[in-house]
Structures are given as C-alpha cells and as structure tokens.
Amino acid sequence: MDERKSGGFAVAGDGVDPVRVPQRVLYTGATMPAIGLGTFGSDRFGAEAVAEAVLGAASVGYRHFDCASVYGNERLIGHSLRAILAGGVRREDLWVTSKLWNDKHGEGDVRASCEQSLRDLQLDYLDAYLVHWPFPNYHPPGCDVHSRSPGAKPYIHENYMKTWRQMERLVDGGLARHIGTSNMTIPKLELVLRDARIRPACNEMELHPHFQQPGLFRFVRDSGMVPIGFCPIGSPTRPDRDKTESDTVDIEDPAVVGIARRLNVHPAVVCVKWAVQRGQVPIPFSVHRHEYLGNLRSIVGEPLTDEEMAALATIDRNCRLIKGQVFLWKDGQTWEDLWDLGGEITPP
Ligand SMILES: NC(=O)c1ccc[n+]([C@@H]2O[C@H](COP(=O)([O-])OP(=O)(O)OC[C@H]3O[C@@H](n4cnc5c(N)ncnc54)[C@H](OP(=O)(O)O)[C@@H]3O)[C@@H](O)[C@H]2O)c1
C-alpha cells in the first residue's frame, strides 16, 4: 500500500492511479482528465465538507476539480489544493476550472474575479476559466426561481464579446490556460466562435442520460471544444428550488437500473460510465468517499457493452433540470426562452 502523507494529503492504497484515467485532448494539445469532481454543495453540503472531498478525491486519484466563485467554497478548497500540491502532486498534473459569475461581466471585473479565484484557490493559474452563464444578471445566491433581477438583460452578443475580450486577456496574461463557455446554445456559440480571437476550449453543459442534448453535444465536439457534462447523475441532491414535478429521475430509469444490477453498482455509477464512454467529461459531485471512489473506479473498469450504450442512447427524455428561470428578463416568458429552442437567439 502506497501511503504518502503531507499536510492532510495521502495517496490512498485503494485509489486509482491517475495515469489510468482517460484524458481528453484540447485544441491547445493540453490534456484534461476525463472525469472531474464537482464542487457545488447544492445548499446541502458546506464548504468544509466539499473541501474535504476535494482532498479525499485527490487521494484516490482525481486530478480534475470543477470550481466556481459562486459556490462560495473556493477559499477552503484552496487549502485542500495547497495540501495536494505540498503532498507531491505536480501542478501540471492537476486540472482546475473556475467560473466567472454573472454579476462580473463588466469592464474590469473579469480579471479581478479571476484573480480573486486564484487567490482563494491558492493557484498561479487556472486550467480553465469559464463564463458561468451567458446572461449578466445578478440574483442573490439561493434565491427562489420566481426571483427576477430588476435590471435583467437578455443575451446581447456585443456585450458578451466585451466580456470575452477580457477572458482572452486572461490567457494572454497567463492567468488561465484555457477559456470556455457554459450554459450556451448553438446559435450563441456560433457567434462566439465567429468572433473570438481565442476560441473557447470547452463548453460546460447539462448532460445526463435523460438530457443528452445530442445536437449541442455534436456541435461542441465538431467545433473543437471539449463538452464538460454537469449534473451527470441527474443531480438528485440539487436544491429543492431547482426541482419541478415534471422532472424525471435518471437513476430510477429501468435501463440504468438494469445495467447497475448487472455490474452490481449504484445506478449513479452507470450514468458516470455512460458519460465518459460517450465522450463528455462528467463532473459528478459527492462528499462521500465510497461514491467518488466508485465513480472513478468505474471509468477504468469494464466498459459498458455496445448494446448497453445503444439502450442508454434511447432513454433521452429531453429533461433539463437546471432551467435558469432566474435569468428571464421580461414578463410573460418561460424558461424555454433562455435556451433558443427555435434555433435562433431569442430576441430581446
Ligand atoms: N456550469 C454550471 O452552470 C453548472 C450547473 C450545475 C452543476 N455544475 C457542476 O456540476 C457538478 C455536478 O452536478 P450536481 O452536483 O448538480 O449533480 P450530480 O453530480 O449529477 O449529482 C450529485 C449527487 O449524486 C449522488 N451521487 C454521486 N455519486 C454517487 C454514487 N456513486 N452513488 C450514489 N449516489 C451518488 C450524490 O448524492 P448523495 O450526496 O445523496 O449521496 C450527489 O450529491 C456540480 O457540483 C458543479 O461543479 C455546473
């Protein structure tokens, strides 16, 4: 058993050797571990628990962490990252993402926000810095889905590009190795790809068996971006405010449950395996060691069969869980307006 301890970090004997974890190649040639640990505590798990999970996950072989300033835990995660690096993990073997929050799109705000995340995370650079949402709207953390920001704005491409120019300068200045997008649609990405000097290297998007987004998934990959999949398990612990009666439950789907029985694993593990095998980078969240270890082990174990992959491809229910209602900018709209379902950016 390999036990190497330093400042709270120890390589666990029952973990997965990080060199066995598949990697995705970005257009820069850099590689990203094909699974990351999510760090949004969903209002249920405090910063201490999440920071502890980051340390524990690194001990069992995770090298990719999906952070964001709005998750309110980057400072404590920074202590974990420092311990991981002090414990002998090389910085170049870690992949750390952070994200720009919606009230920081303005001139001068992007660099300041990135610098704050770097200070909190105790890093010199981020592997990826993403624009968390394409809408520059402030709403208080934890607010109800009916809450609306009085100054709410739609997607205005010219304004997004002003934010993007600031993102590009982070790459120029070495603060971020890659920049990327999140919660985007094809028509919005088409414009950004057309106008960017530094193209987005990845797009973070909701992806789970009941929400496969085949069109956007294909577009992202065909455009040379890595799709990072959030809520890969269908976010069973998401805040109650993000639940609606019509939401479906991936881990109760008979196809998922059937495969889980065959493999003798939790259905959540099947969702993670499916995600990696399909080609997205899932970022499952858990503070429970047996869960995050099980998720990691599953992706270096026996793959799902072609028949199982084909069966899972058929269970898409087009069930978006993170609908984004708080971003709506005028009365009478529904959350579908945020997602350009007609193939064009919803007019202001
Ligand atoms: N870019 C964005 O706008 C955006 C939006 C949402 C999320 N994200 C990112 O995506 C990450 C993941 O999404 P998420 O946290 O909403 O949902 P998720 O990863 O789909 O689900 C997390 C929950 O699944 C359960 N779970 C995980 N592994 C399991 C296992 N092996 N067996 C049984 N249960 C398991 C855990 O429940 P229990 O705790 O009950 O065990 C955990 O709380 C977030 O943490 C965040 O980093 C990004």
Question: Does 110 score more than 70 pLDDT?
Answer: yes
Phi, psi of 81, rounded to the nearest 5 degrees: -65, -40
Residue identifier of the C-alpha nearest atom 5 of ligand 1: 230
Query: In this structure, which long-range contacts are made by residues 316-320, counting pairs with CB atoms below 8 Å and at least 24 apart in sequence?
Result: 316/209, 316/210, 316/211, 316/212, 316/214, 317/210, 317/211, 317/248, 318/210, 318/211, 319/210, 319/211, 319/246, 319/247, 319/248, 320/206, 320/211
Cβ–ligand 1 contact at 70 (below 6 Å): no
Cβ–ligand 1 contact at 38 (below 6 Å): yes
Cβ–ligand 1 contact at 73 (below 6 Å): no
Q: What is the dihedral of CA 334, 215, 317, 155, to 10 degrees?
A: -20
**199-214 pLDDT, tens per residue?**
999 999 999 999 999 9
Q: What average pLDDT does the segment 336-344 reach?
A: 96
Ligand 1, pocket-test mutation among 42, 242, 285, 327, most atoms within 8 A of CB:
285
**67-105 pLDDT, tens per residue?**
999 999 999 999 999 999 999 999 999 999 999 999 999
**139-172 pLDDT, tens per residue?**
877 788 888 877 889 999 999 999 999 999 999 9
More confident residue, 228 or 333: 228
Residue identifier of the C-alpha nearest atom 30 of ligand 1: 291
Question: 295 CA distance to ligand 1 centroid (A)?
Answer: 11
Cβ–ligand 1 contact at 229 (below 6 Å): no
- The predicted pLDDT at position 42 comes to 86
Question: 51 CA distance to ligand 1 centroid (A)?
Answer: 15
- The predicted pLDDT at position 7 comes to 58
Question: 283 CA distance to ligand 1 centroid (A)?
Answer: 7
Question: 333 CA distance to ligand 1 centroid (A)?
Answer: 28
Q: What average pLDDT does the segment 299-311 reach?
A: 97
Q: What average pLDDT does the segment 297-319 reach?
A: 97
**Band of pLDDT at residue 137, cut at 50, 70 and 90:** confident
The closest-lying atom of ligand 1 relative to the alpha carbon of residue 130 is: 1
Cβ–ligand 1 contact at 235 (below 6 Å): yes
Cβ–ligand 1 contact at 183 (below 6 Å): yes
Side-chain-side CA neighbours of 80 within 13 Å: the count stands at 25
Cβ atoms of 98 and 69 closer than 8 Å: yes
Question: 235 CA distance to ligand 1 centroid (A)?
Answer: 5
Give residues with Cβ within 8 angstroms of 90, minimum separation 6: none
Average pLDDT, the chain: 95
Token output for 170: 């982070």
Question: 228 CA distance to ligand 1 centroid (A)?
Answer: 13
Q: What average pLDDT does the segment 7-20 reach?
A: 93
- The predicted pLDDT at position 84 comes to 98
In eight-state DSSP terms, residue 304 is P
Q: At what angle do helices 74-86 and 109-121 cross, to 10 degrees?
A: 50
- The predicted pLDDT at position 265 comes to 98
The rounded percent of the chain whose pLDDT value lies above 70 is 98
- The residues annotated as belonging to the active site are 71
Cβ–ligand 1 contact at 282 (below 6 Å): no
Cβ–ligand 1 contact at 294 (below 6 Å): yes
The closest-lying atom of ligand 1 relative to the alpha carbon of residue 68 is: 47
Question: Does 1 score more than 60 pLDDT?
Answer: no
Question: 233 CA distance to ligand 1 centroid (A)?
Answer: 6
- The predicted pLDDT at position 5 comes to 42
Cβ–ligand 1 contact at 65 (below 6 Å): no
Q: What average pLDDT does the segment 317-321 reach?
A: 98
